[in-house]
Amino acid sequence: MSKFKKIETGIEGLYIIEPTVFEDNRGFFMETYSKRDFEEIGITYEFVQDNHSKSSKGVLRGLHFQKEYPQSKLVRVIKGEVYDVAVDLRKDSATYGKYFGVLLSEENKRQFMIPRGFAHGFLVISDEAEFVYKCDDFYHPGDEGGLIWNDPKIGIEWPLDKIGGVENIIQSEKDKKWGTIE
């Protein structure tokens, strides 16, 4: 039996993953990825790159995607808490333009499996957060695409009350300039 529970999100291929956590008076232990156990729950990716970022409260990264070299991502938070979002950009999908958001934190230890064909972003709602993720293709500079975080056609309900409102969002200059979904 797999050490991971796959939770449906209502969008094909997009899952929340809950690991089995072994806790005692010393702390905890968990596997965050096992190719064999992931295959048991129907998730079969060949990850080739791991990334790690640290951000402060109010940082909103995204919504990013790769145009010609899309990436599947297995994301999780190892410190703090974020609201993580994936937007379906697969034009042939019944859920094109729909999003799903989930709280990821060091406490809940949940992971988010995002397949190719999605824009991805997150908002840090704790004082700081460390975010780690696996990708099934390498990053290709110059192949980046993005969507503006508050695209009215998508209608993401970001938990802005947890950071003090929209005036407290911190973004890169690049992320401020993305357009809307087609």
Backbone angles phi, psi at 167, to 5 degrees: -70, -10
Per DSSP bridges, beta strands 60-66 and 21-24 are unpaired
**pLDDT tens profile 64-89:** 999 999 999 999 999 999 999 999 99
64 classed as catalytic: yes
**pLDDT tens profile 8-53:** 999 999 999 999 999 999 999 999 999 999 999 999 999 999 999 9
CA distance readout (Å), 65 to 22, 41, 86, 115:
35, 25, 10, 11
Q: How confident is the model at residue 1 (pLDDT cuts 50, 70, 90)?
A: low
Bridge partners for 30 per DSSP = 21
Q: How confident is the model at residue 107 (pLDDT cuts 50, 70, 90)?
A: very high
Active-site residue, from 15, 64, 83, 99: 64
Bridge partners for 102 per DSSP = 84
CATH number of 49-176: 2.60.120.10
**pLDDT tens profile 134-172:** 999 999 989 999 999 999 999 999 999 999 999 999 999
CB atoms within 10 A of CB 112: 26
- Rounded Cα distance between 94 and 132, Å, is 29
User: Domain-by-domain residue ranges, the chain?
Assistant: 49-176
- Rounded Cα distance between 123 and 130, Å, is 12
- Rounded Cα distance between 156 and 101, Å, is 8
120 classed as catalytic: no
